[in-house]
Amino acid sequence: MKLKSTLGLAIGSLLAASSFGVFAQGQGAVEGEVFAKRYFTDSYRKMDNGNLYGGSVGYFLTDDVSLNLSYGEYKRLNHDSFEAHKSRKANGSLSSLDAVYHFGEPGVGLRPFISAGMGHQSLNQVDRGGRDRTTFANIGAGAKYYFTENLFAKASVEGVHGFDNHQSEWMAGVGVGVNFGGKPAAAPYVEPVEVVEEVVYEEVITEEVRVELDVKFDFDKADVKQDSYSDIENLAEFMKQFPQTATTVEGYTDSTGNPAYNQKLSERRADAVRNVLVNQYGVAADRINAVGYGESNPVADNATSEGRAINRRVEASVEAQIEEVIVVE
């Protein structure tokens, strides 16, 4: 294979692969590389140090280990001939298969590596114009810097030892390449969070509410006094809040006077309070019943003026039930 063909294929691979930005590093990835190396020969071989140009392709068996196949051709590798100390222009090729272990995690950044493998070197115009073929073992180290998930630059140093000529030589080189086709980077592990559903128990409580009215009257009067209006209004608002309620307004007198008269007076007092609830505060008339009980059911002693003042009254009460939902933990 000619050098131009080798470089052409390698460069073409780089350009084609660089368009696949969706590819990532890791197991299953393929790397293509073009390189230039300086080859330092053993003095025993009477050859000048030369340059090696070529390319390689590698396949990642795991996220860290790849298997690389490379091929390169020598340039300016002159050989001192045994014939009258003439210098011959030596050329040839170098191919190798290496296992490479990468340190660090796949991704953008620096990844040092070490390598080891086997290779084959073929040189012509060596040893009286003949061809020199050598199988060798090689070991190396270096680093790659990934500018993106796909594009990297490389620097390396390699030592080689020939099994046929028993010579040890070395190379130093640089290269650029692309990495594509690997698996996407694994998402970071997130500890699963156990969701405990909180059970909420609700309890409905029925509560009874009550409003009472106690309106006092002057002696022998059925007129509602001004200071009683606020109490009557409170009862009216309660009944509006609970429209299902109804009430009975009960009128009373003290024991002074004729019982028949007192009965009529107690009825007028009950009607007076009912009229205030209906006409002034807007409670429906059919929700209020007015009843007079005369001088019966005293709540104080009619023998005293203070007791009689307490007995001259109108009473009413309204009860309602409300439901409250509470959370039981």
Cα(295)–Cα(7) distance, rounded to whole angstroms? Answer: 127
pLDDT(129) > 80 = no
Residue at token pair 């170098």: 94
Beta bridge partners of 179: 31
Residue 68: the pLDDT is 92
Beta bridge partners of 207: 322
- For domain 3-180, the CATH class is mainly beta
Q: Which residues contact 281 (CB under 8 A, 6 or more apart)?
A: 232, 233, 236, 237
Residue 15: the pLDDT is 46
Angle made by CA atoms 186, 189, 191, in degrees to the nearest 5: 160
The more confidently predicted of residues 157 and 198 is: 157
Query: How far is the CA of 83 from the CAs of 41, 132, 249, in angstroms?
Result: 20, 17, 145
Cα(182)–Cα(143) distance, rounded to whole angstroms? Answer: 20
CATH 3.30.1330.60 residue spans of the chain: 201-328
Neighbours of 164 (CB within 10 A): 11
Q: What is the pLDDT of residues 255-309, one digit of tens each?
A: 999 999 999 999 999 999 999 999 999 999 999 999 999 999 999 999 999 999 9
For residue 305, give the 3-state DSSP assignment. Answer: helix
Which amino acid belongs to residue 219? F
Please, which pLDDT band fits residue 142 given cuts at 50, 70 and 90?
very high
Residue 134: the pLDDT is 85
Please give the structure tokens belonging to residue 29: 């990835």
Q: Which residues contact 14 (CB under 8 A, 6 or more apart)?
A: 32, 34, 176, 177, 178
140 alpha-carbon distance from chain centroid: 44
CB neighbour class for 51 (10 Å; exposed up to 12, middle 13-18, buried from 19): middle
Residue 39: the pLDDT is 81
Is residue 170 within 8 A of residue 40, CB to CB? The reply is yes
58-69 residues labelled b (16+ CB within 10 A) or e (exposed): bebeebbebebe
Region 153-180: mean pLDDT is 87
196 alpha-carbon distance from chain centroid: 19
pLDDT(173) > 70 = yes
- Phi, psi (degrees; rounded to nearest 5) at 154: -140, 145
Share of the chain above pLDDT 90, in %: 48
Domain 201-328: CATH architecture, name and number where available: 2-Layer Sandwich (3.30)
Q: What is the pLDDT of residues 59-112, one digit of tens each?
A: 999 988 999 999 988 776 665 544 444 555 667 788 999 999 999 888 888 999
Name the pairing type of β-strands 77-80 and 87-102: antiparallel
Q: What is the pLDDT of residues 28-50, one digit of tens each?
A: 889 999 999 888 876 556 667 77
Shortest CA distance to 7 belongs to which of 80, 85, 71? Answer: 71
Cα(324)–Cα(245) distance, rounded to whole angstroms? Answer: 19
Q: Left, alpha or beta for 76 (phi > 0: left; psi -120 to 50: alpha)?
A: left
Please give the structure tokens belonging to residue 137: 């073992």
Please give the structure tokens belonging to residue 287: 């929700």
CATH 2.40.160.20 residue spans of the chain: 3-180
Q: Which residues contact 196 (CB under 8 A, 6 or more apart)?
A: none
What's the chain's average pLDDT?
82
Query: How far is the CA of 102 from the CAs of 99, 105, 319, in angstroms?
Result: 10, 8, 86
Shortest CA distance to 174 belongs to which of 56, 300, 286, 90? Answer: 56
